[in-house]
Amino acid sequence: MSPDSTGHSVRLCHLYPDLMNIYADRGNIAVFERRLAWRGIGLEITEVSIGDELSGDFDLYYLGGGQDRDQDLVADDLQTKAAHMRAAADDGAAQLYVCGGIQLAGHGYVASNGDRLPGTGVLDLETTAGESRLIGDLVIDAHLPTEMAAGETRQIVGYENHAGRTSLGSGCQPLGRVVNGHGNDGASGFEGACRDRVIGTYLHGPLLPKNPWLADVVLGWALAHRYGDTAVELEPIDDSMEQRAHAAAVARANRDR
């Protein structure tokens, strides 16, 4: 999709859309597209899958979740793209990783059979498969550092279904603290990981339709990467429908507690 009426656009790299799209994770791309279009900003989407070269300058990278067999297929190919991903993160590009995505964005994932899938090392974390799955509605109090999102603490909601037990290193911080649900490992009380303009999370659903604040944070980072930190302002839009969906998800999580 080309630039819209403002002449501005975001360049998005969608990684493995044919394989990593469980729980309608592709819906997050639709949210990015619509929230930009409502503000007269275009979205240029490049899909990159197995065997494709990852080259060029992108403002936003996205990797969704997938079945274990799909992660197996993706992991080795992703190694050919890992250096690019790390360099892009260091350069200030926005990156969003969901479920299997967060596992592959770390240093590695040890599957239930003992095999270790290599990660990109964009996020300083390790994941090991547990004996049971962590499933259900998930609510977190997310706090992003001041440099990234004005130091706001906001609730984020979604759905988790993962066997992974993820532990964070010193090079990243949790996305938030669990209010309802399991989070990274079912024990630490933390969910997700973030550093600079990179976020990893186990929240499916898809994530962004019920969390418009987070969608705009990520889009703001992408625009800052493209045009500079103060070049493009995201105009407020009516999120009343999204807020109702958010509230319904929180209420359902409270009932299931």
- Domains of the chain: residue spans and CATH: 9-256 (3.40.50.880)
Do 106 and 124 form a contact (C-beta atoms < 8 A)? yes
Give pLDDT, residue 1.
Answer: 45
pLDDT at 137 over 80: yes
Query: Nearest Cα to 12, choosing from 87, 63, 82?
Result: 63
pLDDT of residue 151: 67
What pLDDT is stored for residue 233 in this prediction?
A: 79
Residue from 187, 210, 183 nearest 102 by CA: 183
Q: Which residue has the higher pLDDT, 221 or 24?
A: 221
pLDDT at 202 over 80: yes
Catalytic residue numbers read 99, 204
Average pLDDT on 242-256 reads: 89
Task: Specify the pTM.
Answer: 0.94
Q: How many CB atoms lie within 10 A of CB 186?
A: 15
